[in-house]
Amino acid sequence: MNTTDTNLTPTEVSIHAAGETLKAKATATPPKPAAPDPFDPAKLRLSQGMTAAHGVKKHLTTIPTRKPSKEWFVRCHDDPAYRLETCVVDLKEDSETYLVAPDLWDYLAGESTFSPRLLVTAINKQGTLFLWPIRLPGPDGRHDEWSKSAMEAANIATKGWVRVQSNMNLGAYEAYEAAGSLGDPEWPKMPFNELLRIAFRDRYIDTLDHPVLKRLRGEA
């Protein structure tokens, strides 16, 4: 207590002491947040990062198996891991392609809708992913012009955007490569077997009792 304090009455001392205590407390506690200042708007800026939407990602639920439309520009995956030589049953009237389990291939060898195909992972300029089934040579080694030209077009499409159009006079496909720089496609980040699973989720023939085979046998 300083000399001035000695001149104070007991009540005044008590008040003064209380004041000191309060002052000490005030010093010990963190300072009050500053009053909001509307003249410092840079500090008031809220992020426009759309944080709730960060977890939102696109799920591929459908991958068609089809030829590219004649007006599409397409690219084919250049990684051989995104191709598969296999066999399918192609129901033209229903526009449906069924993947066939290898242990049934011998059994289906004489079936006209059954054929070996190269499934190529492809994407069009609109971002639609699809599996392009290109006919492979049969057991006799014969490879028709349509299939050969489709294969060539698919190979060109690994490097640039290609439009594939049939030429009936020629009896083959013609590939038109886009002249402009259209950028590279954005391939989905998932392995090829996952793409296959999505594409053939309900179109996989792994038993002789499959409804498609029954129908082909005239049983359904």
Partner 1 sequence: MNQLHHYKEVWLGDFEFNAQAGERPSPVCLVARELRSGRLLRLWMDDLRGMPQPPFSTGPDTLFVAYYSSAELGCFQALGWQMPARVLDLYCEFKCLKSGQKVPCGFGLIGALTEFGFDSIAAADKDSMRALVLRGEPYTADERVAILDYCQSDVDALTKLLPAMVGDIDLPRALLRGRYMTAVARMESRGVPIDADALEAFRHNWQSVQERLIERIDKDYDIYDGRTFKLDRWAAWLVTNNIPWPRLPTGSLAMDDDTFREMARAYPAVAPVRELRTTLAQLRLNELAVGADGRNRCMLSAFGSKTSRNQPSNSKFIFGPSAWLRSLIRPDPGTAVAYIDWSQQELAIAASLSGDRKMQDAYQSGDFYLTFAKMAGAVPADATKETHAAEREQFKTVALGVLYGLSADGLARKLNVPPVRGRDLLQMHKTTFKQFWRWSDAVQDEAILTGRLRSVFGWAVHAGDDPNPRSLRNFPMQANGAEMMRLACCLATERGVGLCCPVHDALLIEAPAAEIDAAVEATQQAMSEASEIVLDGFQLRTDAKIVRHPNRFSDKRGELMWATVCELSGRSPA
- Residues of this chain that bind partner 1 (CB under 8 A): 32, 35-39, 41-42, 44-46, 48, 50-54, 56, 125-127, 179-183, 186
State which residue, 32 or 92, has the beta carbon closest to partner 1.
32
Residue 37, classified by CB atoms within 10 Å of its CB into exposed (0-12), middle (13-18) or buried (19+), is: exposed
Least distance to partner 1, CB of residue 176, Å: 15
**Tokens 């009455």 label which residue?**
9
State which residue, 186 or 209, has the beta carbon closest to partner 1.
186
- Sequence-distant (6+) residues with CB within 8 A of 140 are none
State which residue, 28 or 50, has the beta carbon closest to partner 1.
50
> Which of 134, 99, 129 is CA-nearest to residue 189?
129
State which residue, 44 or 220, has the beta carbon closest to partner 1.
44
- Sequence-distant (6+) residues with CB within 8 A of 164 are 67, 68, 70, 72, 74, 150, 153, 157, 173, 174, 175, 176
Least distance to partner 1, CB of residue 72, Å: 11
148, 137 contact by CB (below 8 A): no
Least distance to partner 1, CB of residue 201, Å: 25
Least distance to partner 1, CB of residue 126, Å: 6
- Find the helix or strand (DSSP H, E) in which 214 lies: helix 211-216
State which residue, 115 or 165, has the beta carbon closest to partner 1.
165
Least distance to partner 1, CB of residue 110, Å: 44
